[in-house]
Amino acid sequence: MKQIILTGDRPTGRLHVGHYVGSLRERVRLQNTGTFDEIYIMIADAQALTDNAEHPEKVRQNIMQVALDYLACGIDPEKSTIFIQSMVPELTELTFYYMNLVTVSRVQRNPTVKAEIKQKNFEASIPLGFFCYPISQAADITAFHATVVPVGEDQEPMLEQTREIVRKFNEVYGETLTEPQILLANNRASMRLPGIDGKAKMSKSLGNCIYLADSPEEIKTKIMSMFTDPDHLRVQDPGKVEGNPVFTYLDAFSTDEHFAEFLPEYANLDELKAHYQRGGLGDVKVKKFLNNVMQSVLQPIRERRTYWEGRTDEVYEILKAGSAVAEKTAAKTLQEVRHAMKIDYFDENNLLK
């Protein structure tokens, strides 16, 4: 069986370091293993519109920003097809057929939908398009017969919903669609990077993000102002590493090579943590190290971003070409779906048979 990746992001803002360690870094790694036959990275503008219907210009502007972030992180258009969701209208048609296989109460029970309804104050009046987005996400994934979907942990319920739709479709109409597997980041810290204020989620509205496009000065200021262990008042006091975002960031970003380069008195993160827990290690020293680590990770990303910012006409061509490739694949799947559902009336005069 072919190994196929599909994943994507809503273009509602620039991507931040939480996206990077939670999913982007893994996508680039997977891309470069060479073990995948096809890789699709989708800018989910239609999904972004499900809760931004009144702000299409925000979604539109962020398409280029997200594309730049992808290229900056090392998504290579020679190896991965980057495309815009709404430029593949076949996805919408698939969504419409899949909607018949899902009940309202099943979507209502989807934990991600539940959380978002609360967060967006949609309780009293949920836009129907928003409510159906898990079904549209199943269309995104199955249109490409994706076998692997590398995403953040919050997308787990979407994958579960997709697998259910695949099973139901195949049961009703015959074996047609492919069941995908989720692929999560490989450590807890990377899966859920907190904001610099220590809040559970990095989010634009909370103002607690470090963006991939931030300048070295902005990164440094943000790191030096980071929340740490509030009980670690004096250097000699023992400190806590659990729930301390500075250490969570080190879990997500630092490698033994970073220690050799910037803090050779410790061999690795375990030794640094042990010292902090014993007492005698100040927050400023740890933050300075984190700053060195993050600057060295983010510098090449920022440089590549600057390179592509000067070539947005090329980025435009990449998106246009990618969308054409994606549409071709999705059209083939749609044909298979219509055939399975016996609604391919005009293919080989099927309606007459």
Binding site for ligand TRP (CB under 6 A): 6-10, 44, 47, 137, 140-141, 149, 151, 155
Closest to ligand TRP by CB, 141 or 210: 141
Closest to ligand TRP by CB, 83 or 276: 83
Listed residue (270, 295, 288) closest to 215, CA to CA? 295
Minimum distance from residue 181 beta carbon to ligand TRP (Å)? 12
- 8-state DSSP, 22: I
Burial readout 191-204 (b: 16 or more C-beta within 10 A, e: otherwise)? bbbbbbebeeebee
Is-contact 53 127, C-beta < 8 A? yes
Closest to ligand TRP by CB, 90 or 140: 140
Minimum distance from residue 161 beta carbon to ligand TRP (Å)? 11
Residue 1 vs residues 38, 169, 182: alpha-carbon distances, Å: 12, 20, 17
Closest to ligand TRP by CB, 101 or 149: 149
Amino acid type, 89 = P
Minimum distance from residue 138 beta carbon to ligand TRP (Å)? 8
CA distance 28 to 45: 22
234 CB burial (10 A radius; 0-12, 13-18, 19+): exposed
Closest to ligand TRP by CB, 145 or 258: 145
Minimum distance from residue 77 beta carbon to ligand TRP (Å)? 19
Minimum distance from residue 290 beta carbon to ligand TRP (Å)? 26
Q: How many CA within 13 A on the CB side of residue 228?
A: 26
Minimum distance from residue 45 beta carbon to ligand TRP (Å)? 10
Minimum distance from residue 303 beta carbon to ligand TRP (Å)? 26
Closest to ligand TRP by CB, 7 or 190: 7
| Helices 111-119 and 133-142, packing angle to 10 deg | 130
For the chain, the straight-line distance linking the first and the last C-alpha, in angstroms and rounded, comes to: 33
Name the residue whose CB lies closest to ligand TRP.
44
User: Please, which contacts does 217-222 make with residues 24 or more away whose CB atoms are closer than 8 Å?
Assistant: 219/291, 219/294, 219/295, 219/298, 220/291, 220/295, 222/196
Q: How many CA within 13 A on the CB side of residue 333?
A: 27
Minimum distance from residue 73 beta carbon to ligand TRP (Å)? 15
Closest to ligand TRP by CB, 138 or 269: 138
Hey, is 136 helix, strand or coil?
helix
Closest to ligand TRP by CB, 151 or 212: 151
